[in-house]
């Protein structure tokens, strides 16, 4: 694919001048609450990144050379689509050699989906890609935007012995650094919006940044970055609930072009055992519709066969997502369907750990 760079707004900032910058960082601004400021009429408008030093004078302490690439029109994160995700990955891929790290400014509502998707689209990543944003706009008095951005930039530029400290896709928010394909948004009205229940926190920010090096992906100097530019959106999420009807499930699986389903089940992977339900699951599997079993619980994992209710699903061909999040599961399925040659290959890779998104 080819990105129409003339449509993107590019701003260059040197926070170290006149000294030599310690690192070269690319910020990708997609939109979201972070970049909103009030104009003279009291309306929210997009932040002008030419004014970033005035708004964030403490950035000078980081001594960075920063380039900001802004989407032509800032996107509310609830409007993010597969093309936007591919654009983000492409921008990082095309600029990979020029920068030491990357920060993606993104709305919080779908940040977990986007961070997961980018982790799959960029294989062999060996530099930091740090997603961050804010619960309050940058122009608000009590905004969390300043602390989130400054710390995300610090993480993106952090090196030890010339190697990046965090060479993977992450989300930094409210003092916590979390693996991008392990994160979930769990709160809508607090600064502590994100958690990672099934994988350790990668770092905590206090007086200093305390990195959990044992949980961070190791740097792999000999691995080359591979960029994938396809996400297949012929997927859907089926959430199991008490009272789910045969008519609903029948219509669900008749969705034209449907190739894969994330099935959100109870507890450790349990679902109804009524004949009509199991028959519909069998019919879907026989038609090569991939069904990936993910728990509705924030913490824990699917263990198909632990109870009788999930044993039958495994026998019918439903695949276990173990401890993967729904956000990582749906984007992983889209990535594999878009880039693997056949259904068997998709199934094979869906159940194994590719980017640290699930237990090995």
**Cβ of 160: how many Cβ atoms within 10 Å?**
10
Q: Which of 15, 30, 33, 325 is catalytic?
A: 33
Q: 275, 330, 325, 273: which is closest to 302 by C-alpha? A: 325
- With beta carbons less than 8 A apart as the criterion, state whether 172 and 157 touch: no
Coil, strand, or helix at residue 252? helix
If DSSP codes are grouped into helix, strand and coil, which group holds residue 181?
A: helix
Biggest alpha carbon–alpha carbon distance for the chain = 73
**Which H helix or E strand runs over 163?**
strand 163-164
Task: Respond yes or no: is residue 110 known to be catalytic.
Answer: no
End-to-end CA distance of the chain: 33
DSSP state of 199: S
| Distance in angstroms (rounded) separating the CA atoms of residues 87 and 70 | 11
**Helices 308-316 and 275-286, axial angle in degrees (round to 10):** 30
Phi, psi of 309 (to 5 degrees): -65, -25
What is the CA 48 to chain-centroid distance, rounded?
Answer: 25
Helix intervals (H) in the chain: 52-55, 82-94, 111-121, 145-157, 246-253, 275-286, 308-316, 326-339, 343-350
Distance from C-alpha of 302 to C-alpha of 319, rounded to nearest angstrom:
10
Closest CA to 295 of 274, 313, 315: 313
29 close to 149: Cβ distance less than 8 angstroms: no
Q: Which residues are catalytic?
A: 33
């Amino acid at each position: 694919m080819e990105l129409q760079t003339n449509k993107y707004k590019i701003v260059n900032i040197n926070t170290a001048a006149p000294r030599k910058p310690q690192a070269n960082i690319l910020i990708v601004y997609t939109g979201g609450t972070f970049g909103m400021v009030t104009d003279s009429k009291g309306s929210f408008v997009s932040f002008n990144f030419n004014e970033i030093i005035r708004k964030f004078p403490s950035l000078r302490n980081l001594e960075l050379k920063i380039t900001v690439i802004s989407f032509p029109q800032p996107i509310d994160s609830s409007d993010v689509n597969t093309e936007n995700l591919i654009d983000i990955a492409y921008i990082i891929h095309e600029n990979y050699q020029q920068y030491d790290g990357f920060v993606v400014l993104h709305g919080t509502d779908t940040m977990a989906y986007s961070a997961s998707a980018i982790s799959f689209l960029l294989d062999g990543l060996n530099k930091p890609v740090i997603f961050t944003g804010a619960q309050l706009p940058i122009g608000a008095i009590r905004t969390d935007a300043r602390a989130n951005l400054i710390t995300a930039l610090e993480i993106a530029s952090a090196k030890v012995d010339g190697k990046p400290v965090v060479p993977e896709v992450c989300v930094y928010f409210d003092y916590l650094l979390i693996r991008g394909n392990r994160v979930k948004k769990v709160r809508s009205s607090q600064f502590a919006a994100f958690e990672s229940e099934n994988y350790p926190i990668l770092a905590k920010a206090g007086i200093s940044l305390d990195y959990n090096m044992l949980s961070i992906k190791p740097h792999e100097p000999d691995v080359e970055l591979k960029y994938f530019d396809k996400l297949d959106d012929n997927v859907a999420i089926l959430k199991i609930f008490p009272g789910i009807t045969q008519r609903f499930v029948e219509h669900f699986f008749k969705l034209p072009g449907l190739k894969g389903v994330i099935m959100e089940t109870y507890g450790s992977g349990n679902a109804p055992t009524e004949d009509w339900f199991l028959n519909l699951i069998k019919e879907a599997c026989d038609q090569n519709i991939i069904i990936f079993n993910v728990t509705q619980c924030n913490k824990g994992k699917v263990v198909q066969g632990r109870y009788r209710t999930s044993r039958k699903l495994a026998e019918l061909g439903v695949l276990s997502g173990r401890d993967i999040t729904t956000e990582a599961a749906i984007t992983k399925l889209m990535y594999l369907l878009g880039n693997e040659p056949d259904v068997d290959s998709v199934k094979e890779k869906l159940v194994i750990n590719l980017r640290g998104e699930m237990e090995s």
